[in-house]
Structure 1
Amino acid sequence: MFEKLQAPPPDKILSLISAYAEDGRAGKIDLGVGVYRDETGATPVLASVREAERRLLAAQTTKSYLGMGGDPTFCRVIVPLVFGADAPAERIRALQTPGGSGALSILMGFAARLTSRIHIPEPSWGNHAAIARHVGLEIVRYPYFDAATGRVDFPAMKAALERAEPGDLVLLHGCCHNPTGADLTRGEWSELAGVLAERKLLALVDIAYQGFGDGLEEDAWAVRHLAGLLPEMLVASSCSKNFGIYRDRTGAAFVLGRSPEEAAIAEAQLMAEARTGYSMPPDHGAAVVRIILEDADLTARWRNEVETMRRRIADLRRGLAEAFRRRTNSGAYDFLTENRGMFSLIGVTPEEALRLRQEFGVYLVDDGRINIAGLKEDQIDAFVEAVVTVKG
């Protein structure tokens, strides 16, 4: 029967890993894979995580099942991190999931029981549409990014969502938009909240990069603002980036209900999705996060580490924009300082991206997305020269 199968297209980002590894050039630059790297080019294990793991190994007495919702204490302590101390906790339910992708999978699967259509920004992270298709949702793309300015085209976005049908699901990036780095302003979020409420749309907010934009509290502003205005909402959160535990697959799926009773029913439905998808999420990463967030001193240490990562990304953005300004004698790349998080679209075509790989050893995604955190300071000028050269 297998002869009937056709090979799926290779993952554009993951395929860069092999190509980069096989490149023997000393000056090669990897801006493709979306992981944070420090000034040495390493993706470090945070000191707060190491300490939490030490405590976990010393105290853990069993590896028995925890259940479909994962670690209940993790679920309790992750709510205020995302929704704030003043969150309507009685209307919120949280499930531990295998990373942010696991959260998106069970939330979209749950939403597919309520609606048939999802609105996804153009562009967006590729897995958003892939998961939506997998659970049978019809995908409608709404305009989001103005490539000419490097900023959000909010009037076009708002106009498109004002035409959405009541009950439709709307995917939103809570902060640090992937792949553009262009985020809504607080005023635009407020306008958007009015559209969502008036059109009776169900928001699904993906907040995968909390802490990498303007700060842990600042980056959660949109989620918290919407939670204070909307009767119902879904949120997918990832611990991969801000805790640096990528391979431990730790995330959370949240549902905000109109009432505690409706939230509890929705939670039970999410449990059913989890049961058929993966039965129980892996425990190690969630236990690490729990230990950190339950200890005030460890939490303070972790927050300082996240701030260090955030500042490095912001410094690289400024350095990159300044280098482009010097080389081009223009402000065409100043949007890099306005964008937030790890990613931006640098404005190269797939053909130019291929030239960058072949001629300069610069690895980035074909759509021009670069991982700012993949740069070292001493690579900035070489990268800028390569981009300017291929763009002629």
Structure 2
Amino acid sequence: MEIIAKDRDQITEEDIEFLRANYTSAGGLLPNAFSGGAFFTPTHVAKFVWDVLKPRLPETPKVLEPSVGAGVFLEHAPGDAVITALELDKTSAKVTSLLYPDAEIIEGNALVHARRDYYDLVIGNPPYGVNVTFEPQEDEEWRSITKKKGEYGGKSEVAFIELAIKAVKPGGYIAFVLPLGISFANYASKLRKFMHETCWQVATILLPGETFQHVGTTIPTQILILRKAPPRTELIPPVTTKWRSNFRRGGDTDITEYNAKFLEGQPPAYFAQVTDIGWDAKGKSTVASDHRLTQLDELVDDLTDDNLVRENLYPHLPSWHGIGKGNEAFFFSHGNGQCDGMRDAEASFSDGPYRWNELTLGAGDEIEWNGCMVSSFDFGWQDEIVRNYFDRQRDY
């Protein structure tokens, strides 16, 4: 507090380094590191997210961090990124502006940030479990939270995820550290439906309870990486029907109703569970001194290899097998810890991290799309959908 109270020209490099070493790693110097739902993110978790996403972004990506805290997600951003970061807490906003002077740091409420369909990436660790209210932009509808007397209100993590989907451009990415509650809780049911209808799943990675133990909590969390699909990308049923469980006949009308559907362009879905984050429940390092890689580092190759191999689609059943009311929670549930894929992963990767792939649109079967046939294993299909969308926009 003494440092940030100084005039800017009186703050030394030693002051900056002190803030970098202590404020970031000590959870904002807050009691139990909790303030308004804020649990500051371990630096190697932020680094992992950037390692996965950098190869997918343009050379000069436009990035939004809507709950920047002390800026740990800015620490590993590429140097040519154009970053806008918002922070409601005055102290954290000041510290982050000192640590990252090239970023645009805005002290204020991200939920009223006005840019739409603009950013290449929205990244961060939004506040959890806090009830928020805000006035929307004129005539703008929010689908995941409730409107009452001209204001929208709901859980903070729900509002921040919908903000991210609104703010990122079609084809852009969203990467958040989130509580597991969004996977199953009733308060997030509208959000799950909204995500499922508007975004492709890139990765869903369960983190152990020790992840945030250094800032005073063992709240279960996950890394969720999504990609925003262009408008009018259709939800379609899988073409692989090996288990004959994805449809039911409509009685006398003889109409087939499909239970599970996925957006065009959705490849097999990537899931992982990290069993060792790099320290134990007492904060003691679990990484050998001669081998500094963590389990998160092992997952980077899975998600950046140009020749992603989905080897373990068979023989396990997909998590949506036998569901009766659609699959909005599929990407966010880890099969409730009971799915065949997870059991296969536990057997295949006994030392962790567990990782597996879930069948979505098909097991290599072809799908008719845009007048041609594409493979349900085609990882370039999304890119073509995005290119076609922007080509149409330019024609208009």
> Which category of TM-score, normalised to the shorter sequence, fits these structures?
0.3 to 0.5
In terms of fraction of residues, the more helix-rich structure is 1
RCO (CA 8 Å, sep 6+): is it higher in 1 or 2?
1
- Tell me the TM-score normalized by structure 1: 0.33
- Tell me the TM-score normalized by structure 2: 0.33
